[in-house]
Structures are given as structure tokens and as C-alpha cells.
Structure 1
């Protein structure tokens, strides 16, 4: 069984900022299911969208990137 890689920290940063998936979906004009897929690392946003997310959350884009560990290593 292949281990899943955690590529982004969008879910964690949303929680740190007290924001929800629905709030982010509204800010970006995206479907809430798309945001959910990003938060679970099932899909990844484009690089441009990652910068848009960072801007909405008031963080640097690099804060949205994970260290590269797998879910099992966490």
C-alpha cells in the first residue's frame, strides 16, 4: 500500500486562522468540494491558486506547503 504524501497545510492554516473551507471557497470563487479535496490532500491547487490562498489567509505561500512527510510519518 502506497503512503500518501502530505503536500499542503491548507487545512491546518485555515484552522489556525479560524476560517472554514466554505469561507475559503467563497473568497476564491471555488466549489467547496474543491477546497475539501485540497484540505485532504486528495488534489492540489495550482501554484497561482496557492498564492491566492496565501493572500486570502494573510500568510506567505511557503507556510501552506508541508515538509514532505507522508501521513504515516506524522
Structure 2
């Protein structure tokens, strides 16, 4: 499975629990768990709210991309 987001790592770095994010975004803890395990991705508005809450750049919630030039 390709890991798209770094939500688990970021939550760990900031000592944030799924329950708090679920309350903040008015979603279930199981939804947040799916995001943390990269089984589902939050929409951009929810990512923005998470970044705002943690006071981080929204890009920190993703793994950096490295595109090959096809050569």
C-alpha cells in the first residue's frame, strides 16, 4: 500500500489523539483511524483544519513527492 499522508507521524510528534481530532472535526474516531492508517484520505478542508489546529504547514501532513523524469 502506498502511504499518502503522514497523519500518524504528525499526531505522534504533537502528542495528539484521534479522539481530539474527531471532536474537532465532528467525525467519528473510526474515520480518523482510517486516515491515520492511510485506508481513507480526509478532504482538503479537514486537512486544513488539522494543520490549523496543530499550527503546522498543511504540506507537513503528506509525504514529499519525488517525480522521475522518465529517463
1:6: which partner in 2? 3
Q: Return the structure number with greater relative CO, CA threshold 8 A, min gap 6.
A: 1
In structure 1, runs of 5+ residues without a counterpart are 70-74
- What is the number of equivalent residue pairs in this alignment? 66
1:57 is the counterpart of 2:50: no
Bigger CA radius of gyration: 2
Which runs of 4 or more aligned residues in structure 1 lie more than 3 Å from their structure 2 counterparts after TM superposition? none
Q: Aligned Cα RMSD in Å? A: 1.4
Distance 1:14 1:57 in 2: 9
Q: TM-score, normalised by structure 2?
A: 0.85
